[in-house]
Amino acid sequence: MSQSFETAMNGRAALSDTPAQADVEAAVRTLLRWAGDDPNREGLLDTPSRVAKAYREFFSGYELDPEEVLSKTFSETEGYDEMVCLRDIDLKSHCEHHMVPFLGKAHVAYLPDRRVVGISKLARVVDIFARRLQIQEKLTVQIANTIDKVLRPRGTAVVIEAEHQCMTMRGVRKPGTFTVTSRMTGSFRTDPSTRKEFLAMIGR
């Protein structure tokens, strides 16, 4: 697998020339001037540093490894081998085309094969990938593929429903329009009854 493909899949930037805080703040001041405002007026004096701080939080997923989050699993399951499903995981991400938010819910399920992971870890994986510049389709695949790779379950299912502000605030301006994406692997893809059970659990 090429390094560029791996970087694209896991989303982790391998940059050696990360800009300094001062460079980021200067860029924000440039945007403020370009928008038609004065970055030196009182209300905007601290905006560049606030924006830099906010962006570090928005995109903190680049600094975290989702595979490491899933690495601690449990084998003492008393033989449990039925579906594990988390629904309505709050999701906040940013469109890589316009750098505006898309907001919604993620639903994640897997069929354990001898080992399970703490349920909070699944939500954490969603959050790590969401806190990167994304398109919803790629985000859906990254979550499912990471669970598959680390847990090696009998199947994984991910459905994301999100409203994109690049469609509601600009462009076609259609509020209330949700994009739905899914990724099914293993039994969720090959067994219609398993897929139907999952979809029923998440109310679809």
**What count of other Cβ atoms lies within 10 Å of the Cβ of residue 14?**
8
107 is catalytic: no
The pLDDT score that the predictor gives to residue 4 is: 42
98 is catalytic: yes
Decide if 122 contacts 147 (C-beta within 8 A). Answer: yes
The mean per-residue pLDDT over the stretch 91-98 comes to: 96
Decide if 102 contacts 164 (C-beta within 8 A). Answer: yes
96 is catalytic: yes
Of 131 and 173, which is predicted with more confidence? 131
Report the predicted TM-score, pTM, of the whole model to 2 decimal places: 0.88
Of 117 and 172, which is predicted with more confidence? 117
pLDDT 10s digits, 109-121: 999 998 899 999 9
pLDDT higher than 60, residue 26? yes
pLDDT higher than 90, residue 80? no
165 is catalytic: no
CA atoms within 13 A on the CB side of 52: 15
Q: How far is it, in rounded angstroms, from Cα 150 to Cα 126? A: 14
| Given 6, 63, 67, 96, the catalytic residue | 96
Of 194 and 7, which is predicted with more confidence? 194
Q: Which residues of 149-181 are buried (b: 16+ CB within 10 A; e: fewer)?
A: ebbebbbbbbbbbbbbbbbbeeeeeeeeeeeeb
Long-range contacts of 88-93 (CB under 8 A, 24+ apart): 88/202, 89/122, 89/123, 89/126, 91/126, 91/130, 91/160, 91/162, 92/130, 93/130, 93/131, 93/132, 93/134, 93/136, 93/139, 93/162
| Given 25, 94, 134, 136, the catalytic residue | 136
The Cα-based distances of 175 to 17, 101, 170, 178 in angstroms read: 39, 13, 10, 9
| Given 94, 95, 134, 142, the catalytic residue | 95
The pLDDT score that the predictor gives to residue 16 is: 56
- pLDDT grade for 81, boundaries at 50, 70 and 90: confident
94 is catalytic: no
95 is catalytic: yes
pLDDT 10s digits, 52-65: 999 999 999 999 99
φ/ψ (deg, to 5) at 186: 55, -130
Of 3 and 115, which is predicted with more confidence? 115
